[in-house]
Chains A and B, each alone.
Chain A
Amino acid sequence: MPLRVRTQRRLINTALLGCVVIGLYAWADWLDASLARDAHATGYLLYGAIGLLAAYNLRKKLTGLPLGSSRFWMQAHAYIGLATAPLFALHLGWRAPDGWLEATLAGCFVATFTSGVIGLYLTRTVPKQLARTGQQYVYERVPSLRSRVAAEAREAVLGGVRATGATTLADLYADRLHGFFNRPRSLAYAIAPSGAARKRLFGELTASRRLLTDAERRAAERLFALIRQKDDLDFHAARQGLLKKWVFVHLALTFALLILGALHGVLALAMQGAAA
């Protein structure tokens, strides 16, 4: 069975990345053997690579220019980003950083690299999770849709009360559902959303059905759909929000890394002493 295009591309790119890493090690060995300042050479290369990675953000702003597709840049960003890890190790010379600036810079690099890897994981897994919900939502529209769902839920319950005067469903709504429809979800949910609340509320609503009047049962049916929709909205808000916050963190770390790296480079050049 022939491989999918993306799988082929991934295999080729991974093989290329392996070749580049081997080449980097061979280059560093050669620099070392020739008694050159290998830390300077790897430093320039590392900073250049980080600059190229950061340039992707600039490319995103210049949508009208034929600078290559964003897809190509993203691929290059991921593989060059992975290649910076062994390059960083070569630059450090496989030792722990010493001094506060070096340690901060190394910590910043590790944080940026880790956030990149996490981002890669998130961008590969979150879309599949989002696609599983019945409807798709635009992040910016979620607050207004939440308000609409909450209003509909309240109206459905009040409709049941108006029809028969029974308040069983209204009591359940006030006690268990009002908070779900009107309050934001917890931080834990934002980090790792689950369907536990939906299941719990479905269970409580199902258990109360035998106590309800016909009008209330019709309202309860509507509530089932609205609970599902509210839960989907919360899920989309949490997962899409996570992706957006991740981009913000990754960008902030990148700029910090660029600034600290430039400072480190200036100091390294200033303190290099006489030529060997």
Chain B
Amino acid sequence: MTTQAPPPQRVTGPQRWQEPLDAAMTDELVDRLLGVAPFRQMDPAAFPGSTPLRGLLQNDTRITRRAAGELLVREGEYGDTAFLLLDGRARVALDSLSAEAVGLQEGQARRGWASAIARTLATVLGPERSPETRRKIDARSVPERQSLFVQDVPGVLNEKRTATLSPGEVFGELAVLTRSPRTATVFAETDLVVLEIRWQGLRDLMRYTPAWRAHIDELYRTNSLRVHLRATPVLMRLNDDALERVAAAISMETFGSFDWRDVPPDPDAIDPLDRVKREPLVVEQGDPIDAALLVRSGFARVSLRHGEGRRTVAYHGKGAVLGAEALFAGAGKWETAIHAVGYLDVLRLPADVFRKEVAPTFKQRDRARRAAPETLPAQTLDYLVDRRLMNGAEAMVIDLDRCTRCDDCVRACAATHDGNPRFVRQGPTHNGLQFANACMHCVDPVCMIGCPTGAIHRDPQTGVVRINDSTCIGCSVCATACPYNNIQMVEIRAAGGAIVFDETTGQPLLRAAKCDLCSDQPTGPACQHACPHDALARIDLSEPGSLTALAAR
């Protein structure tokens, strides 16, 4: 009697697998990967049918070879892949390297008077410039991955502190898991082979392999936790010993979907009450306080029960400590509920450790100051969080009670961007304020994820999210990803003004355009500079106090 094998189970893989990270990942390569650590120790049965281990490796990873001296990760850049070193040696620079050393141009300097006058004359006197002209039309042919090398490897090794990375070691995972800039530069010391793992795949590997998760968490604990704790205002007064004890007591938790852009921010699409219910609950109002929660990344909505729903009373981002006031006051229960807005990574510091190590470093007066409530009305907080506007670090807010609709802001923007304004003076309005459709240079810039050439990037000096025109290939990934529709795809024009078409497809060549905060202008943002009635301001909505200050002007 023969036993028939069960028919293969047909399941639908995640949507991201429709486009594997690297189509060249063959079954043979996957088999070889399954034979090496750490995948050898992973239990395929622990993975669900929709995301099997083999599928993860086939679709969410790629194997790349890098030559000695080649850069793998640059400090300050955002990325969507982590790295597992398979063969060879790499070096991580513990000190920051200069922009020249890592092949970067220095941050774009502000123009002086001479160039400002030249640009103004060109705008005022003409001849009319063709809009959106690209200097290098052939930039479209930029390969998916450009090889960049550290300019002076021996010099770097002599002058900077570095650490060696050996086969089996993981790096670049923190930036991927917290969607933050890379904290260090890593380059190949010898010719090497690395496995790049897409962030979704890394999260799935961590979810279904506790040992792998513990390993990644341990890496964070070893490499970055102390830096984060030192940068947390509540913990700044701790001495080194106390900080060690706090670090040892901390555990990590994640709530919500890292890919929060999948849930539309427009609350008209989803009932606001339903939205709060759908947000993952971190802490329920009335639960006993067993820990203070340090926000590592993402946003938290703090709310109070009100009728059948909840009223937002505050929101917090990276660096906040939730529950500190209650622990200072000796409260036994959470007075508010906390939800993850999109996703939330927190460090859980047990209440007894907080009371023993942190509370004594604060005097009564300081505690009272910390507990001072925000003055923004609850409905405004609801509005900002429902639409995720609190993600904006440089949001354009227009006071409609002062705006005469003269459009001087739009004209100034056009005048400083070759005739094409980079924003639309429209957008959601609330309580006499308009949140215009201009790039907000978000705290969590989801538009940067997936850019194949790294054209969209955050300026490490200024924090401005910019698009490098010469490397933008017009793929629309950023424009599609922006949940606020603040990136437009515009046609590229030749010097004479004619639209440039792709020879192969016959379609117009496009490039992404968005507000660059006039980072090269001597005046700063031209829109704000041009507003005669003090109606337009660029403010950091991740800090509720900035909107309070705007209202108090």
Out of A64, A73, A128, name the residue touching B416 (CB < 8 Å).
A64
Query: A63 — which chain B residues lie within 8 A by C-beta?
Result: 120, 123, 411-412, 415-416, 523, 526, 529-530
Contact of A167 with B by CB under 8 A: no
Contact B113 A4 (CB under 8 A): no
Q: Is the interface of A mostly helix, strand, loop or mixed?
A: helix
Tell whether A70 pairs with B532 under 8 Å between CB atoms, given A6-B553, A63-B120, A138-B426: yes
Tell whether A65 pairs with B116 under 8 Å between CB atoms, given A136-B400, A138-B425, A138-B426: yes
Contact B416 A130 (CB under 8 A): no
Closest chain B residue to A135, Cβ basis: B429
Contact A70 B553 (CB under 8 A): no
Q: Is the interface of B mostly helix, strand, loop or mixed?
A: loop
Out of B432, B526, B534, B553, name the residue touching A131 (CB < 8 Å).
B432
Contact of A208 with B by CB under 8 A: no
Closest chain A residue to B521, Cβ basis: A64
Contact of A127 with B by CB under 8 A: yes
Contact A127 B402 (CB under 8 A): yes
Contact B400 A74 (CB under 8 A): no
Out of B123, B405, B531, name the residue touching A71 (CB < 8 Å).
B531
Q: How many residues of A contact B (CB 8 A)?
A: 30
Out of B113, B432, B531, name the residue touching A70 (CB < 8 Å).
B531
In residues 341-380 of chain B, which contact A (Cβ within 8 Å)? none
Question: How near does chain B come to A190, taking the closest CB pair, in angstroms?
Answer: 16
Contact B552 A5 (CB under 8 A): yes
Contact of A126 with B by CB under 8 A: yes
Cβ contacts B381-409/A at 8 Å (1 or 0 each): 00000000000000000001111111110
Contact A64 B120 (CB under 8 A): yes
In residues 504-553 of chain B, which contact A (Cβ within 8 Å)? 521-523, 526, 528-535, 552-553
Contact B404 A126 (CB under 8 A): yes
Contact A71 B534 (CB under 8 A): yes
How many interface residues does chain B have, given as a range? 35 or more
Contact of A272 with B by CB under 8 A: no
Contact B402 A66 (CB under 8 A): no
Assembled-state Cα–Cα distance A48/B552 (Å): 36
In residues 110-148 of chain A, which contact B (Cβ within 8 Å)? 122-123, 126-128, 130-131, 135-136, 138-139
Closest chain A residue to B428, Cβ basis: A136
Assembled-state Cα–Cα distance A244/B429 (Å): 23
Contact B531 A66 (CB under 8 A): no
Contact B120 A243 (CB under 8 A): no
Contact B401 A65 (CB under 8 A): no
Cβ contacts A1-14/B at 8 Å (1 or 0 each): 00011100000000
Query: B411 — which chain A residues lie within 8 A by C-beta?
Result: 63
Closest chain A residue to B534, Cβ basis: A71
Query: B402 — which chain A residues lie within 8 A by C-beta?
Result: 127
Question: How near does chain B come to A57, taking the closest CB pair, in angstroms?
Answer: 11
Out of A65, A127, A244, name the residue touching B120 (CB < 8 Å).
A65
Taking each of A60, A128, A131, which has the highest tally of chain B beta carbons within 10 Å of its own beta carbon? A131
Contact A130 B405 (CB under 8 A): yes
Closest chain A residue to B410, Cβ basis: A138
Besides the known contacts A64-B120, A130-B405, 11 further A-B residue pairs in the complex with CB atoms under 8 A apart:
A61-B124, A63-B120, A63-B416, A63-B523, A65-B117, A66-B523, A70-B531, A70-B532, A71-B531, A136-B400, A138-B426
Interface pairs (15), CB distance under 8 Å: A63-B411, A63-B415, A63-B529, A64-B116, A66-B522, A69-B529, A70-B532, A71-B533, A73-B532, A74-B532, A122-B404, A127-B535, A130-B405, A136-B429, A138-B425
